[in-house]
Each structure stands twice: as structure tokens, then as C-alpha cells.
Amino acid sequence: MNYKNLFSLQDKKVVITGGCGYLGREIVKGLADFGAEVIVIDWNISQIDGIVRPVTYLQCDLTDTDNIRQVMKVAAGEDGIIDVLITMAANLGAGVLSDVENMDDEYWNKGIDGTVGYTFRTIRESIPYMKKSVAGSIINIGSLYAVGAPDPRTYYDTPFSSTPNYGAGKAATVELTKFCAAYLAKYGIRANSVSPGSYPHENVQENTLFKKRLEDKTMLGRIGYPDDLVGVMIFLASAASKYITGVNIMVDGGQTAW
């Protein structure tokens, strides 16, 4: 076997939700660099600069099943195939600073739906097109808070917090991934999740106290940046991971390995 093109995504059609976001944009660039045909699905569409290949942008409301179904049909194109699905989109809705004592049912439900709900509907509507792929791959985004609780002390004296519905929704996403891996294996479709550690947005990094606390939580002594996720995404999308399914890969600088 020639391993030279083991990580190639040439001729693969990759659909990524949330691809216009802080983490998604860099991943889209990496996928395109490795030869993928990339279709970005997002609510707020913004062109991504510095991409070597044309990218298709489709607007979609991930709370609306009919809209998702229509958009997936467009994404699949004339051949009706989706090779890789990456589900990055998430939305906690308003009330993002609510804690377990104060969060009402409406905000709780929005956060659960905006994590595992978005992911479930997207996967469900993509399956008919992924069945036609020679080697389908689903990559869901979990979180370090899918496997462990946030340390409240990290957030003291800062305007930030981590909400209970986010961690619960991401933990459910990791379990949904395992379920899909088992159920879809008969179609040759793999399903894995990637759980980032601390990847604060650039404006959050300006709070040096908070950034230092996040850095001190990791073995590598730094926060994560969007390009830290590109390699694992290419790996899971490519033939290099053809015998890997049902796993959750931590990309957290060693934070959960202490």
C-alpha cells in the first residue's frame, strides 16, 4: 500500500456546520488544503479568507428540521453523496451566565437543543446521503466539560462562566456519537467525537487573569488555538482513521489527563 496520500481528502465532500465560527474557520481552511470539497452550513454566513479551493456556503436554521432537510439535499449535490459530516454548530441562547441555581427551564432547554439537538437533527438528515459514500465519517464536537465538571474557581472575579446545560448537552453529544457509531457501522459509516479543551475567543483572551487560570489547568501550559484542532479533523475525515469509530478524542493540552 502507498501511504503517501493517506491523509488526502481529494474527491471527498465534507459538510461542516458552524464552519464560519471562531474554531470552524480554521478547520475549513485545513480541509480545503487537503483537497476536500467543503460545504459550510451556518446561520450567519461570512466568507472565509485564505482558502485554496472554492467553498460553498449554505444558510440554515438548525432548529428547523425542514430547513435542514432542504439544505442537506443541496449540499449532497447531483450525486447525492456526503462523505464527511462535521457538526460544530452550537447555540446556548440567552441567559448564558445562568448557573444551576438560577437557570430557568426555557434557557436549559435552549442550551440542550442548541448542542445535542442541533447535532442529532443534522446527523439524521445527512444519513441518506452518507449511506452512498464509500467510507462515511461523522465528526461531532464534544467538550472537556463532556467528561468533567468546570472548576468554579476558574471563573471567580471574571465576567465568564460555564453553564450546566452546555456540559450536559456536550456529554449527551459524546454518547450520541457512540450510539451512531454502533448503529451506522452496518452502512460503513464511522462516528467519532473531538472534545476541545480551553479555546477562549480572542476577546476573552484579553482578560489576562482568566487566560492565566486556563493555561495553568493544562499540562502544556497554554490555551488552545483553532489550528490545534485542524490535524485531528483531517485525520478523522481521512482514510488514516478507517478503523477508528466510537471514540472521543481529547484535544485539551492534557487538561483532563492530570
Q: What is the pLDDT of residues 29-53, one digit of tens each?
A: 999 999 999 999 999 887 777 776 7
**Residue whose C-alpha cell reads 444558510 in the numeric block:** 59
Decide if 60 contacts 74 (C-beta within 8 A).
no
**Count of alpha carbons within 13 angstroms of residue 10, beta-carbon side:** 4
The three-class DSSP label of residue 39 is strand
Decide if 34 contacts 51 (C-beta within 8 A).
no
Q: What is the pLDDT of residues 103-150, one digit of tens each?
A: 889 999 999 999 999 999 999 999 999 999 999 999 999 999 999 999
Q: What is the pLDDT of residues 207-228, one digit of tens each?
A: 999 999 999 999 999 999 999 9
pLDDT at 54 over 90: no
Q: Which domains does the chain have, with CATH numbers?
A: 13-257 (3.40.50.720)
Helix axes 24-33, 230-237, angle to 10 degrees: 50
**Residues comprising the chain, all counted:** 258
Give percent of the chain with pLDDT exceeding 90: 89
pLDDT at 96 over 60: no
Model pTM score: 0.96
CA pair distance 26, 22, nearest whole angstrom: 8
> What pLDDT, on the 0 to 100 scale, is given for residue 242?
98
